[in-house]
Amino acid sequence: MSTTNIESSLGEFSSCLAGILDLIWRCALSIDPGFNLFTSFRYDPKLRTAPFNTEVNGEELPYLFFPYHVERLVKTAQKFGWQKSIQTMAAPDAASSLKRVCDKAVLESSLSEKETGIGLRVLLTPAGEFHVEKIPTRPFLRDPLEAAHFNPSAEPQGPSDQAPQTIFDVYIDTVPTPSSVYTSFKTTSRAHYDAARTRAGIKDRIKLKEVILHNERGEITEGSVRNVAFWRDGTWVAPLEEAGGLPGTVRRYLLERGLVQEGVIRKEDLRLGEWVLLINGFDVTVLGKIVERPSAE
């Protein structure tokens, strides 16, 4: 047998083995995964008339980028091979069913929550059922996309050029977080994120703090509860999706509109005092600055 034939056979064997291992993994997860899939986004009456939100939703809705979250659940269910969840998301009324459970959660909320905004965490179980959890979130005090338009390299000429508030303290994690399906897809299996927050001394989501994660190759991936971007050569640059971070919905919006670009960001290239654009489905965009890690308490 020639060398070419041997190499071709080995390639076919490797591909076949990878397919078998993937099938075994999916079957194991479908039996007893021990976690749920989820997506999270903001309810806010201000979003109903926000042009950027209506553009994505195709109608006036108080939910941030609602179609993106439907698409996320479809892709995540398919990735994990959960047949009942796949069936739920493939149903013609999947989006309306998801909206109904969100509407119910909002209806059961207090008036003050409805006025200031509610973080919704929508779970999709292995049985294909939706459950909604409410997460306290900060009220919008200004344009939620304002931080994405901030230019850290420009000299401020007046009040309108000042950095949008609020400013988070951002730490760099000391331990790599290996890339995996659990960093690339949103699930309730989040021990790796919790560990990074513990190392940074972040005990809750009330304080304005975030920690930046990096993979085993030293590439920045994301924050513990937010996507991140850094100012490089006149634009905001987010880590490549291939680095292993979660492809967030607001991140997607910013990339599609050219407000953020993708590139390789390495841990050793980050500097104290550097601006960080923090991105998620609750706050949308806010700013942070890289600071020294806190002393151990």
Which residues does the chain have with pLDDT short of 50? 18, 21, 24-25, 28-29, 297
Spatial separation of the C-alpha atoms in residues 139 and 128, rounded to whole Å = 32
pLDDT value at residue 225: 97
pLDDT value at residue 25: 45
Name the token pair of 98: 């998801």
CA–CA distances in Å: residue 193 to residues 48, 63, 146, 202, 272: 32, 25, 27, 11, 22
Contact 292, 269 (CB under 8 A): no
pLDDT value at residue 293: 83
- The structure tokens 């796949």 sit at 86
Closest to 124 measured CA to CA, from 173, 187, 66:
187
Contact 43, 61 (CB under 8 A): no
CA–CA distances in Å: residue 273 to residues 215, 230, 260: 22, 12, 20
CB within 8 Å of 37: residues ≥ 6 apart? 73, 76, 77, 80, 82, 85, 123, 124, 185, 186, 187, 188
Query: Residue 125 is which amino acid?
Result: T
